Structure 1
Amino acid sequence: MKIFRYGAKGSEKAGVILNEKKYDVSEGNFQYNRDFFANTANLEKLQAYVEKNSETLKEIDVNERIGTPLETPSKILCVGLNFDDHVKETNLQQAAEPIVFMKSVSAFNGPFDGITLPKNSVKSDWETELAIVIGKKASYVSEEEALDYVFGYVLHNDVTEREFQIERGGTWDKGKGCDTFAPIGPFIATKDEIQDVDNMRIWLKLNGELMQDGNTSDFIYRVPKLISYLSQFMSLLPGDIISTGSPAGSGMGKSPQRFLRDGDIIEYGIEGLGSGKQVVSAYSLS
């Protein structure tokens, strides 16, 4: 199943995608929050509701805003340098273990909402990534059982301010967690929808020019490893997001380097997870 949310920010309603069309299910009192993901019975109830009301479900107007496909999670975890080609283009060193950082929940953003460049930003960049949505609490899980904790997968643009991230010292978080820097969606695909998570094309265009064209087959650390690894350090809660890293093609890896500017248009996607689009705007007090 593919689930999404639509409507004005802060007032989004639940929906499902059936045969490429979007339908409202909010009358069934479904909300895609932590409680929903925590209980597999909720997905079963949603499926039953859709089947029972398939003839009367309201189709969503194409002009409706598509929001984040879930309510704000407890945390957005990210893995850096998980593709060899991206490691090489950044001239950064691959660590012996996965590189982990967090994006602030205030960065959480819809897949078609704009990206606002931070005040004093000069090196804001793009990174298309596959993200995991956790379905039940995971603590100290093994790689063998890790996929049992997955609810589904979602598209993520890990927008990054490189000067804040690298040149200003300290941890990466301050270059990763700026407002609007975590566009998520347009929908979550339940794990049964994805035939092979290790073979999904990842792409991104900037102003119509192809910048990223990779595949999850090139992961250094695969999904079960990442879930198991992160669960050794913290509990992963229902609805938590784990972003798995980006292939080559980021702006900092270009020669000459290329970074986001006011008016730029980013389009990106992952096979099986749809696409997103953001217009970039300069910081403004208004």
Structure 2
Amino acid sequence: MKLLRVGPVGQERPVVLDGAGNLCDIGEREIDGAFLDSGRMARIRSALEWGDLPVVHPADQALTRGTDLRIGPPIARPGKIVCIGLNYRDHAEETDAAIPAEPVVFMKAPNTVVGPYDEVLIPRESVKTDWEVELAVVIGRTARYVETDEEALACVAGYAISNDVSEREFQLERGGQWDKGKSCETFNPLGPWLVTPDEVGDPGALGLRLWVTGDLRQDGNTRDQIFPVAEVIRYLSRFMVLEPGDVINTGTPAGVALGLPGTPYLRAGDVMELEIDGLGRQRQTVGQA
């Protein structure tokens, strides 16, 4: 099942994508933590299978262009965004970082989240704004001291594409934690869909790719994660309570500007395009704050 939110900023409407590409009303005010933890997704799935949901927007090209009908982030108001750094061996190697013995954890401000086709803004004084295609995990039930992989995956409401946009000078050269290079406005395009686990299959076998103005920069697979999804959830649940609506960005493969000497960082007018197998596609034009 593919859930999404469409409409102007702050007025998004929760819908589901049916097999014909139509957008259907799910009868909910919002896709948020309360909804994900309510059990109402089973009702929506049944109604979708029976064709009982009213079509609010017929199938057309709007979902691929992202212009005629704005697609917002699939989750409204994430409680927190927890990120895993250096979670692909090739990415750690390209940035001359040691392979971590435990997951590297940092946080990203929840208000960085924007829609998958929204503009990404280069911050003022930025000289090193970078891209990162990532598999995002959306939590659907409380995860606290999780013991097994099965328990961990049972806490997942679904998966989405995340672009963990990063300002490398702010992150690495200005002192302090990574967060200041990760939490600038528009620095987390998310979506287009929240795809339920039954449609995704194995989250450890998904190809993920990113292009900058037509040039393929990242081409990886989640099978190369150092810490796979279940292990990340188990690990985090020992240090914090993960709650419905929280988002975990699970790391990026090689191919970021930081790891490619001579590759220019993002500039106004650049276009980023991202895709992950089964999770759709994003496209953002880069502007200036």
CA distance in 1, matches of 2:28, 2:244: 19
CA distance in 2, matches of 1:227, 1:141: 8
Is 1:172 matched with 2:178?
Answer: yes
Match of 1:140 in 2: 145
**How big is each residue's C-alpha offset from its partner over 1:14-36, in whole Å with a ceiling of 9 and x where there is no partner?**
1111225141315x235211111
CA distance in 2, matches of 1:217, 1:261: 31
CA distance in 1, matches of 2:270, 2:87: 26
Alpha-carbon distance change, 8 to 83 in structure 1, aligned in 2, over 3 angstroms: same
CA distance in 2, matches of 1:19, 1:210: 30
CA distance in 2, matches of 1:51, 1:182: 32
Which amino acid letter does the alignment assign opposite residue 35 of structure 1?
Answer: A
Which amino acid letter does the alignment assign opposite residue 45 of structure 1?
Answer: R
Query: Displacement of 1:190 after TM fit?
Result: 0.3
CA distance in 2, matches of 1:22, 1:122: 42
Alpha-carbon distance change, 102 to 55 in structure 1, aligned in 2, over 3 angstroms: closer
Counterpart secondary structure, 2:30: coil
Which amino acid letter does the alignment assign opposite residue 50 of structure 1?
Answer: L
Query: Displacement of 1:64 after TM fit?
Result: 0.8
**How big is each residue's C-alpha offset from its partner over 1:47-103, in whole Å with a ceiling of 9 and x where there is no partner?**
233345547423356211000011011101100000110001111223321000111
2:201 pairs, out of 195, 212, 216, with 195
Give the alignment of 1:94-243 within 5 angstroms. Answer: 94-144=99-149, 145-243=151-249
Q: CA RMSD in A?
A: 1.4
Is 1:259 matched with 2:265?
Answer: yes
The TM-score, its normalising length taken from structure 2, stands at: 0.94
Is 1:38 matched with 2:37?
Answer: yes
Contact persistence 2:159–2:279 (CA under 8 A): yes
Counterpart secondary structure, 1:21: coil
Contact persistence 1:15–1:22 (CA under 8 A): no
Q: Which moved more, 1:251-260 or 1:100-109?
A: 251-260
The TM-score, its normalising length taken from structure 1, stands at: 0.94
Which amino acid letter does the alignment assign opposite residue 45 of structure 2?
Answer: Q
Which amino acid letter does the alignment assign opposite residue 128 of structure 1?
Answer: V
Which amino acid letter does the alignment assign opposite residue 66 of structure 1?
Answer: I
Gaps of 5+ in 1: none
1:68 pairs, out of 60, 69, 73, with 73
Match of 1:6 in 2: 6
Counterpart secondary structure, 2:191: strand
Is 1:249 matched with 2:255?
Answer: yes
Contact persistence 2:138–2:159 (CA under 8 A): yes
**How big is each residue's C-alpha offset from its partner over 1:93-125, in whole Å with a ceiling of 9 and x where there is no partner?**
233210001110121111000000111000000
Match of 2:45 in 1: 47
1:57 pairs, out of 55, 73, 95, with 55
Which amino acid letter does the alignment assign opposite residue 208 of structure 1?
Answer: G
Contact persistence 1:109–1:180 (CA under 8 A): yes
Contact persistence 2:37–2:244 (CA under 8 A): yes
Which amino acid letter does the alignment assign opposite residue 36 of structure 1?
Answer: F
Alpha-carbon distance change, 152 to 221 in structure 1, aligned in 2, over 3 angstroms: same
Which amino acid letter does the alignment assign opposite residue 98 of structure 1?
Answer: P
Gaps of 5+ in 2: 63-67
Query: Displacement of 1:148 after TM fit?
Result: 1.0
Aligned residue pair count: 281
2:288 pairs, out of 268, 282, 285, with 282
Match of 2:89 in 1: 84
Counterpart secondary structure, 1:133: strand
Aligned-pair identity (%): 44
Match of 1:24 in 2: 24
CA distance in 2, matches of 1:254, 1:264: 17
CA distance in 2, matches of 1:106, 1:56: 31
Query: Displacement of 1:215 after TM fit?
Result: 0.3
